[in-house]
Amino acid sequence: MLSKARYEDNLEFTIDVPENLTGLTVPKLTLQPLVENALSHGFNGANALRKLWITGHIDHSQFILEIRDNGNGFSEESLSSLRQQIKLVESSQLSIESSSGHIGLINTCLRLHYYSKGTMHMAIRNENGAVVTLTFLYGADRAPSEGGKAG
């Protein structure tokens, strides 16, 4: 992980995805901007130990991927604004064409929304840091697909 070279001993990360799910694919550049966002913005420039957890599991017919950090979390204003924008994306009221000026998190949400034909959902919250949860339908003819590595 390139970020490990940058942050050296100030970065610890855990990837917890069951072996039977490691063959699932998610669209390119799904995890990278979420991890980068957590490392770059979650600590307000502090030289603190950055911890990241990436977990994945199946719950009924859903593949749930969660990216969690131990940073400062989202401000209440940012959390409210981001949640509103996510609602607009998921209701197809905000499109890639109208996305100029959006931050990386919303751009990722837009890409995933269109990749999954509207079946992917993103949720964000604060819980001892920031938490981004991506939920995909799982099964035949649904994203993510089998055949490559997640990420």
| pLDDT tens figures, 12-29 | 889 898 888 877 777 777
Q: Per-residue DSSP letters for 87-133?
A: HHHHTT-S-STT-TT--HHHHHHHHHHHHTTT--EEEEEESSSEEEE
Judged by phi (left if over 0) then psi (alpha if -120 to 50, else beta), residue 9 lies in alpha
pLDDT digits (tens, 9 = 90+) for 74-125: 999 999 999 999 999 999 888 766 655 557 788 889 888 888 888 899 999 9
- Least confidently predicted of 7-11, 62-66, 87-91: 7-11
Whole-structure pTM value: 0.81
Per-residue pLDDT at 54 = 92
